[in-house]
Amino acid sequence: MRRVSNLLSRDTSVRTTLPPDTATPSSLPVPDRRAPVPLADLDGEVFAWMLDQLPATDHPAPPDEARWLEELDTLITADKGRGELLPRAAGLIPQLLNSLRDESQSAGELAQRVSRDPNLVAEVTRLANSLAFRGHEPVTELADAVRRVGTTGLRQAIAKVVLKPMFGAQPGQLSTRAAGHIWAHSQAQADLCRALAQDRGIDPFEAYLGGLLYDVGWTAGWRALDHVFEKLSPPPGLAFSRGFRHAFQARRERLFSQFVIGWKLSAPLHAAARAVKGAGGFEQADDALAQVLLAGNRLAARRVLVSAGRVAEDPDQVAHWSEAVQATYTALA
């Protein structure tokens, strides 16, 4: 992965200088953060989809449910225990930080560097022909793809290629079942967050990266539950109660904020994560980027669930967004 380091040309819109822990939320302009139609929270359905279960239904709380949550809290509160949930992050996050450093390079130099990694070649070419960047003609040459996507597109491609291994399956019933679904959801979420950010005057790369990272809470949460069930028995048929699913959602959001704050990726993401932590979740976080990530999360949930045939399409949930957001949503089908 060292091959992707130092790829990026100078761009002052993204900085890695961080505020201190006492920093206030992002100083980005804060437009109206509310969706014209409130987006449905489909977290319970996503929970069931990730485990390849039937659509979510209510189940009585098992006697050990409170103990599961206590064990979860022990794991995610301790720095060491939490770090062991995403062991690859220790190597991947510094590489991603290196790839975000400003460096003045020509498009030809960037193309030459990207050409050394086949995964990056494939991702940059795919991105150049995607809805977000496509021109009048399809791109086949790497140099043309690099010129089309520019610095922002290269950052997106690098982030995706670098971070993907962190979401891979690990031993454990839950994380093994969920890994593929998490990555599919993360990619849809990142694309939608980018489109939403462009509508709201927020840096699209910060939103894209935040969309990719939102689901570290899912990944770490499932792995934490696997650890819990090494000591305690899971519910028969993995039939979790509605109350547990709701409690698990809160802990996933806490994991997101703890990891992103610790990684110190960029000032806007740091501020968004601190706002989520301070508010106890995304819903009440008073930060424009955090609210874009929440909207992207819910639109992505609807997209993957509709595509999987688990919920019916609801035009009102997307009809009032901009044409760019609607087009991105449709293209992800």
> What is the per-residue DSSP string for 260-282?
HHHHT--HHHHHHHHHHHHHTSS
Nearest alpha carbon to residue 105 among 143, 59, 62: 143
Question: Is residue 95 included in any domain, yes or no?
Answer: no
Could you tell me if 203 and 258 lie in one domain?
yes
CA distance 255 to 277: 9
**pLDDT, one tens digit for every residue, the chain (333 residues):** 344 334 333 333 333 334 444 344 444 444 444 444 568 899 999 999 999 987 767 788 889 999 999 999 998 888 888 888 998 898 898 888 877 665 555 666 667 778 888 999 999 999 999 888 876 788 888 888 888 988 888 888 989 999 999 998 888 999 999 999 999 999 999 999 999 999 899 999 999 999 999 999 999 999 999 999 999 999 998 889 999 999 999 999 999 999 999 998 899 999 999 999 999 999 999 999 999 999 999 999 999 999 999 999 998 898 889 999 999 999 998
Domain ends where: 148, 167, 186?
167
Q: Is residue 176 part of a domain?
A: yes
Residue after which a domain boundary falls, among 167, 195, 213: 167
Residues in CB range of 63: below 8 A, 6 or more apart: none
Same structural domain, 183 and 197: yes
Does one domain contain both 269 and 137?
no
**Which residue among 167, 190, 213 closes a domain?**
167
Cβ atoms of residues 89 and 259 within 8 Å: yes
**Residue 274 pLDDT:** 97
Read off the amino acid at residue 310. Answer: R
Q: Return the closest-CA partner of residue 124 out of 151, 97, 96, 90.
A: 151
Q: Which residue has the tokens 């980005």?
A: 28
Residue 12 lies in a domain: no
Q: Is the same domain home to 229 and 172? A: yes
CA angle 64-67-71, nearest 5°? 140
Say whether both 130 and 195 belong to one domain: no
Instruction: Give the pLDDT confidence score for residue 25 in this predicted structure.
Output: 40
Domain range enclosing 157: 103-167
* CA 158 – CA 156 distance, rounded (Å): 5
Compute the Cα dihedral for 317, 328, 159, 170 and give only its sign: positive
Determine, yes or no, domain membership for 247: yes
Asked, for residue 25, whether it belongs to a domain, the answer is no
Residue 106 confidence (pLDDT)? 62
Both ends of the chain: CA-CA distance in Å? 31
23, part of any domain: no
Do 116 and 256 sit in the same domain of this protein? no
Contact 228, 72 (CB under 8 A): yes
**Measured CA distances, 216 to 70, 206, 253 (Å):** 20, 16, 9
Residues 207 and 245 in one domain: yes
Which letter does DSSP use for residue 88 in this model?
T
- Residues 239, 124, single domain; the answer is no
Give the list of residues 6+ apart from residue 195 with CB closer than 8 angstroms, or none. Answer: 132, 322, 324, 325, 327, 328
Taking the C-alpha atoms of residue 79 and residue 265, their distance in angstroms, rounded to an integer, is: 18
Cα(89)–Cα(325) distance, rounded to whole angstroms?
30
Number of domains present in the structure of the chain = 2
Do 251 and 315 fall within a single domain?
yes
Report if pTM > 0.95: no
State how far the Cα of 47 lies from the Cα of 61, in Å rounded to an integer. Answer: 16
Same domain, 117 and 69: no
For residue 21, what pLDDT is reported? Answer: 42
Please report the sign of the dihedral spanned by the C-alpha atoms of residue 181, residue 79, residue 23, residue 98: negative
For residue 36, being part of any structural domain is answered with no
| 212 is a domain residue | yes
Q: Using alpha carbons, list the distances in angstroms from residue 268 to 107, 257, 298.
A: 27, 13, 21
Same domain, 309 and 173: yes
260: tokens are 């992103």
Could you tell me if 108 and 210 lie in one domain?
no
Q: How far apart are CA 24 and CA 285, in angstroms?
A: 12
